[in-house]
Amino acid sequence: MPKEQYEPPDPRRMYTIMSSEEAANGKKSYWSELEISGKVRSLSSSLWTLTHLTALHIGDNALSRIPPDIAKLQNLVYLDLSSNKIRSLPSELGNMVSLRELLLNNNQLRVLPFELGKLFQLQTLGLKGNPLAQEILSLYQEPDGTRRLLSYLLDNLAGTKRVSPEQPPPRSWVVLQEPDRTRSTALFSVMCYNVLCDKYATRQLYGYCPSWALNWEYRKKSIMQEILGCNADIISLQEVETEQYYNYFLPEMKEQGYDGFFSPKSRARTMSECDRKHVDGCAVFYRTEKFSLVQKHTVEFNQLAMANSEGSEAMLNRVMTKDNIGVAVLLEVRKEMMEQSAGKSLHGMEKQLLLVANAHMHWDPEYSDVKLVQTMMFLSEVKTIVEKATRSLKLSSVSGETNAVPLVLCADLNSLPDSGVVEYLSTGGVDSTHKDFKELRYMDSLTNFNCNGKNGTHNGRITHAFKLKSAYENGLMPYTNYTFDFKGIIDYIFLSQPTLNVLGVLGPLDPHWLHENSIRGCPHPHIPSDHFSLLAQLELVLSYPPSPVNGLHLTGRR
């Protein structure tokens, strides 16, 4: 976890005493630091009600124990317990994760609770003058000793059986509507999941997670269990490393009846073969008994930015320098699957196509403009894919009819529900002056991605050609990304209307389980990624063509 700048309290503490006149006049005082001195032997329980404290100085006393209730002071950043007679520490001290400085010098400590390893933001740990075991002292005295000791304690915490041995409770299924029995429909399920690739799973980013639980060999088994447990017909994954796709994911998924398509981020093309193996990208898997592959496409945002810059420095300097990608697969729904869902023979029913798109947008919150432009590029390319498929496959569709092919869009958008990205996808467009563009000059280049093209009318809005609905609406998931510093919704499944309907979704992980087990962020020994998976059951409305063309059919104009 990146360390914020920490300023320790000034050791030259100054005290002011409010006069009786000031108190009588109603003067208020606010103090965030407290010092207790005078060879104190025990602490009043009222101390633990002062939850606003950020610094507590109780060194140079005669304390022999510290009550577990000290953990109620969750805002403490500085805690000085030096020069007392403390023989042991409460394990609850490990829950005080805001601590940056913990001074335990000159006490009578022989052991440390393994829970101290949970203090991942701690920058200074004072242990001098304690009769600690040599193993602890040796780690502490090494260069970067505080970090090494905390890592050791956290990694061995599970061995003390203080990590909850129970798996998280099953996530509940949320029924949104019943299937339409009056029409022929095909049912299928879609999963969207950022698996957190190995190179990003570091103690620097996720200091609250033991290193063994960040290890890829440990996490990959839980990730695969999550994927297979959802049993989705279509699976969209982000942050899949190239080597892991070909050596692990694809072989495992093929054994389960899937095939897949993968593309790494654009940087892979300029790397050596050895380095290329560790570049992450996006993958789509589909169940072969239900779908067959018609086309596959990779969308490279930096290439699109370069080709459509139109002299925009922002496009060249901000968008083109990011190598995020998206993938799209055009699938044909197998007739057997349609008949099984419909419960009857579909004689006369022509072929049905489905486009599945998957993308991972830039991560940095300071680049809201880049995320929005990348999303516009992706929708524009998806539109082109549909139109080219319509022409090349001679589909029975009006030229340029993008809504003819049902679309499922899965993505880690790295954007919250109130962002310009989600507004653009949900409402069909955004104003060219939207705040997420940061008043940067994009307009001329953005018209290339407009619904009607550069020469169409846009009225100051950039629009797309699809009518999209989010599978998860109305707060069904309070967060899809769950770390110590950030908890929010950034992963999405969108589906095109009205040909696709959402029947149900997988609900959130029980928040009580997270609270009871003091899980402040993921990954965790029981949760292999910092993202939660999304799973939706969709209903595809089938329709008979008025006039089949070349045996292929796409649903008509809406």
258-264: strand order across its sheet = 173-175, 500-506, 534-541, 185-194, 234-241, 280-287, 258-264
Vertex 48 angle, CA 47 and 54, to 5°:
90
Closest among 345, 364, 361, 378 to 468, alpha carbons compared: 378
User: What does the buried/exposed string (b/e) look like for 241-256 if buried means 16 or more CB atoms within 10 Å of the residue's CB?
Assistant: bbebbeebbbeebeee
Phi, psi for 324 (deg, rounded to 5)? -65, 155
- Write out the two tokens for 282: 């996006």
User: For residue 266, how many C-alpha atoms fall within 13 Å in the half-sphere facing its CB?
Assistant: 20
Phi, psi for 408 (deg, rounded to 5)? -115, 120
CB 36 within 8 A of CB 58: yes
Place of tokens 């023989």: 87
Place of tokens 């939660």: 532
Q: Tell me whether strands 352-360 and 33-35 are parallel, antiparallel or unpaired.
A: unpaired
Would you call 322 helix, strand, or coil by DSSP? coil
Vertex 226 angle, CA 224 and 232, to 5°:
95
What distance in Å separates the CA atoms of residue 163 and residue 150, rounded to the nearest whole number?
Answer: 16
Does 412 qualify as catalytic in the annotation? yes
Q: What is the maximal distance between C-alpha atoms in the chain?
A: 95
Q: ω into residue 523 within 30 of 0, thus cis?
A: yes
Which among 198, 369, 412, 436 is annotated as catalytic? 412
Closest among 421, 390, 410, 409 to 556, alpha carbons compared: 390
CB 108 within 8 A of CB 99: no
User: What does the buried/exposed string (b/e) look like for 158-196 if buried means 16 or more CB atoms within 10 Å of the residue's CB?
Assistant: beeeebbeeeeeebeeeebeeeeeeebbbbbbbbbbbbb
Q: For the CA atoms of 268, 524, 360, 418, what is the dihedral angle to 10 degrees?
A: -150
Catalytic residues: 412
